[in-house]
Amino acid sequence: MSGGTTTATRAEYCVVACAEAWRAAGEVLAAPMGTVPTIGARLAKLTFSPELLLTDGEALLVGDVPAVGARAQVVEGWLPYRQHLALVATGRRHVMMGASQLDRHGNQNISCIGEWARPKRQLLGVRGAPVNTLNNPTSYWVPRHSPRVFVERVDMVCGVGFDRAAAAGPSATRFHRVPDVITDLGVFDFETPDRTMRLRSLHPGVTVEQVARATGFALTLPDDVPRTREPTSAELRLIREVVDPAALRDREVPAA
């Protein structure tokens, strides 16, 4: 491993992959949803994206980087809901959301399973997903990669994918961007001619065949798929000792 010999866990590879989504982001608000993305955003802030803005998850901009679950000691500003929405609408935020369903075009569902008029399962609801995807970079974190999540067609569109944005025209595509999809198996993007999902890297111990079996549609598979970047020894120290000393990451992504 770069800079050390300690073996990184699958969860730690996922943390680093999430952190990379905010590399060189500049002074934008990181809005991670989930334990691993939260650790990733804080790791990015401590390393290669020092200008990244973090919140306490409620209404404060924080100046330090506390451990997950700890209270921030440095407050830089007040970020009430209306100001947070202003950041969303003006593109000065990169959110990493979850997805109950995600299709090959990047359409996301967090609202319901089954027909909208009579769903089998009621989920979170649409929430702010449409505004997120049309106004600021929106990535996704899926801790359990399976055909139940990666489906041919989502039951309801919440986050807008590339095909639906294109169909809606320039007003929808102007600021539409879905940079990354990160799962417990690998990293994915939409950097293909038809803007459909591509396997960008595999986490250690994962095979292309395993990813294909766990995906409910045909992915774009490069001839030579690289491995997800290894955490450095300095990053592992920050993850384990500073950001997540309670090892909450392992609850979200258990050892493979």
In the prediction, which pLDDT does 4 show?
A: 43
CA 99, 101, 105 angle in degrees (round to 5)?
Answer: 100
Confidence (pLDDT) at 30: 96
| Residue of 57 and 152 predicted with greater confidence | 152
Judged against a pLDDT cut of 50, whether residue 2 lies above it is answered with no
pTM for the model: 0.94
Segment 164-192, tens digit of pLDDT: 999 999 999 999 999 999 999 999 999 99
Report pLDDT digits (tens) over 231-255: 999 999 999 999 999 999 999 999 8
Mean of per-residue pLDDT scores for the chain = 94
State the DSSP code for 150. B
* Tens-digit pLDDT profile for residues 27-55: 999 999 999 999 999 999 999 999 999 99
The whole-number average pLDDT for the span 68-85 is 90
Supply the CATH classification number for the domain 10-245.
3.40.1080.10
- Residue that wins the pLDDT comparison between 101 and 116: 101
- pLDDT at position 85 is 83
How far is the CA of 222 from the CAs of 58, 194, 241, in angstroms? 41, 15, 37
Summarize the confidence of residues 92-97 as an average pLDDT.
95
Would you call 205 exposed, middle or buried from its count of C-beta atoms within 10 A (0-12, 13-18, 19+)?
A: exposed
pLDDT of 211 above 80: yes
Residue 189, phi then psi, degrees to nearest 5? -150, -170
Per-residue pLDDT at 128 exceeds 80: yes
pLDDT at 84: 84
Q: Which residues of 103-136 are buried (b: 16+ CB within 10 A; e: fewer)?
A: bbbbbbbbbbbeeeeeeeeebeebebbbbbbbbb
In this prediction, residue 153 carries a pLDDT of 97
Asked if 79 contacts 61 with a C-beta cutoff of 8 angstroms, the reply is yes
What DSSP string describes 205-218? T--HHHHHHT-SSP
